C-alpha cells in the first residue's frame, strides 16, 4: 500500500510540474503575441467602415466618428434624426435652425426620382409647418438639405420633403445661386469623397412671416458650411442673401466664425480645438475654386 501511495503522489507531482510548465509557456506566448501586435502590426481604427485603413492617415478616426457633422446642442433644442440627415427645429420660426448630413461621392449616382411629397414632419411633437402655409405666399418651399443629395435611397430622398427641412425662399434664389451651390458641392465631392455639411437659415432680427395656420419666418440670409477631412483638412462657408443674384459662388464665401457669430451656433464641436479654430477662422478660396 505504501508503494502505491508513493507512486500516486509521484504522478500527481509530475502532472503539477508539467501543468505549471505549460501554463508558463502559454503565458509567454501570449506576451510575445501582445508585444508583436503592439510594436509591429498596424493599428486598426475604431468603428472603421472598411478594411482599407492606412495607419498613417491622421484623420481616419475623425472621419469615422459618429455625428461629426452635428453642431453643439442643448437639452432645450428640438433635435430630430431622420435616415440620412439630422436637424434642429425652431418652433418660433417654424423651420430648422440647421440641417446636418454627410454627402458621399459613392451615393451620388442613385436612381431614386424626386417625388415632391411635401408634408408635415411627424417627428416634431409640437407640429411642423404645413405645405399650405406657403400657398400663395410668393415664396418657394426651398430645401435646406437638397433632394438631389439623397438619390441613393427612396426613404432618404422622400424625407427631404418633410416641412422641417423646408424654408421660404425667393424663387429666383432657390432656382439660382442656391441651386448652383448645391450642384457645385456634388461636383466637388466626387474628388473629395465625403463632405460634412451643415446648412440653414439665419433666424435673427425682425423677419417677415407667412402662413395662416403657422407663422413661418422668411429668412433674409441662408448659410451652407462644408468640412472635408480627406488628406489635408479644409472647410468653406457660404452666406447668401435670399434674393436673385448673378454673382459667382466665390463671392458668397465667408468664415465659419462669421456664421457662428450671426447664428449663435457652434459648428463642428467634435473637432480638436486647434484644428477647429484654424478651419473656422481661415478663408482659403483657392482650396475649392480653381481660379
Q: Is the pLDDT of residue 275 over 80?
A: yes
Report which of residues 245 and 55 the model is more confident about.
245
pLDDT band at 139 (very low <50, low <70, confident <90, very high): very high
Q: Please give the Cα distance from 130 to 236 (Å, whole number).
A: 32
Write phi, then psi, for 81 (nearest 5 degrees): -105, 120
Is residue 143 flagged as an active site residue?
Answer: yes
Domain 60-287 CATH (choose: 3.40.50.300, 3.40.570.10, 3.40.640.10, 3.40.50.720) = 3.40.570.10
Average pLDDT over residues 206-219: 96
For residues 105 and 190, is the Cβ–Cβ distance under 8 A?
Answer: yes
Take residue 90 and report the three cell numbers written for it.
425652431
Say which range, 27-31, 98-102, 190-194, has the weakest mean pLDDT: 27-31
pLDDT at 39: 46
Rounded Cα distance, 163 and 118, in Å = 6
- Rounded to whole angstroms, the Cα distance separating 58 from 43 reads 12
What is the Rg, in whole angstroms, of the alpha carbon atoms belonging to the chain?
A: 28
> How much is the pLDDT for 156?
97
pLDDT at position 9 is 54
Euclidean distance between CA atoms 140 and 166, whole angstroms: 9
Q: From the candidates 2, 93, 143, 171, which is the catalytic residue? A: 143
What is residue 120's three-state secondary structure? coil
- Asked if the model's pLDDT at residue 43 lies above 80, the reply is no
> Within a 10 A sphere around the Cβ of 7, how many other Cβ atoms?
10
Q: 472598411: which residue's cell?
A: 50
pLDDT digits (tens, 9 = 90+) for 86-122: 999 999 999 999 999 999 999 999 999 999 999 999 9
The residue ranking higher by pLDDT, 142 or 51, is 142
Q: Residue 236: what pLDDT?
A: 98
Residue 114 near residue 161 (C-beta atoms within 8 A): no
Phi, psi of 217 (to 5 degrees): -75, 145
Mean pLDDT of the chain: 87
Residue 284 CB burial class (10 angstroms; 0-12, 13-18, ≥19): exposed
Is residue 125 classed exposed, middle or buried when 0-12, 13-18 and 19+ CB atoms within 10 A define those classes? exposed
Burial letters for 62-79: b for 16+ Cβ neighbours within 10 Å, e otherwise? Answer: bbbbeebbbbebeeeebb
At residue 51, the pLDDT reads 34
Residue 269 has pLDDT above 50, yes or no: yes
**Beta strands 234-241 and 166-169, pairing class:** unpaired
Residue of 224, 291, 214 whose CA lies nearest to 263:
224
Q: Is 39 left (phi over 0), alpha (psi -120 to 50) or beta?
A: alpha
Q: What is the pLDDT of residues 56-82, one digit of tens each?
A: 566 778 887 889 999 999 999 999 999
pLDDT higher than 90, residue 219: yes
pLDDT, tens digit, for every residue of 246-268?
A: 999 999 999 999 999 999 999 99
Half-sphere CA count of 27, side-chain side, radius 13 A? 6
Confidence band of 50 (pLDDT split at 50, 70, 90): very low
Amino acid at each position: 500500500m505504501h508503494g502505491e501511495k508513493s507512486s500516486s503522489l509521484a504522478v500527481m507531482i509530475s502532472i503539477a510540474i508539467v501543468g505549471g510548465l505549460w501554463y508558463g509557456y502559454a503565458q509567454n506566448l501570449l506576451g510575445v503575441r501582445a508585444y508583436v501586435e503592439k510594436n509591429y502590426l498596424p493599428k486598426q481604427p475604431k468603428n472603421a467602415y472598411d478594411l482599407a485603413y492606412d495607419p498613417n492617415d491622421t484623420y481616419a478616426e475623425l472621419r469615422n466618428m459618429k455625428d461629426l457633422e452635428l453642431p453643439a446642442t442643448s437639452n432645450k433644442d428640438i433635435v430630430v434624426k431622420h435616415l440620412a440627415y439630422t436637424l434642429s427645429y425652431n418652433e418660433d420660426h417654424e423651420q430648422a435652425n440647421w440641417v446636418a448630413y454627410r454627402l458621399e461621392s459613392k451615393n451620388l449616382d442613385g436612381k431614386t426620382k424626386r417625388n415632391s411629397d411635401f408634408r408635415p414632419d411627424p417627428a416634431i411633437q409640437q407640429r411642423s409647418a404645413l405645405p399650405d402655409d406657403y400657398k400663395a405666399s410668393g415664396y418657394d418651399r426651398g430645401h435646406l438639405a437638397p433632394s438631389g443629395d439623397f438619390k441613393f435611397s427612396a426613404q432618404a430622398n422622400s424625407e427631404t420633403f418633410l416641412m422641417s427641412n423646408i424654408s421660404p425662399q425667393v424663387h429666383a434664389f432657390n432656382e439660382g445661386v442656391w441651386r448652383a451651390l448645391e450642384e457645385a458641392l456634388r461636383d466637388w465631392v466626387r474628388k473629395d469623397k465625403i463632405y460634412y455639411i451643415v446648412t440653414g437659415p439665419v433666424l435673427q432680427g425682425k423677419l417677415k412671416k407667412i402662413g395662416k395656420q403657422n407663422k413661418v419666418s422668411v429668412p433674409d440670409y441662408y448659410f451652407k458650411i462644408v468640412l472635408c477631412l480627406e488628406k489635408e483638412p479644409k472647410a468653406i462657408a457660404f452666406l447668401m442673401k435670399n434674393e436673385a443674384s448673378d454673382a459667382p459662388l466665390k463671392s458668397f464665401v465667408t468664415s465659419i466664425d462669421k456664421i457662428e457669430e450671426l447664428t449663435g451656433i457652434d459648428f463642428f464641436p467634435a473637432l480638436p480645438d486647434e484644428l477647429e479654430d484654424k478651419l473656422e477662422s481661415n478663408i482659403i478660396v483657392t482650396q475649392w475654386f480653381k481660379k
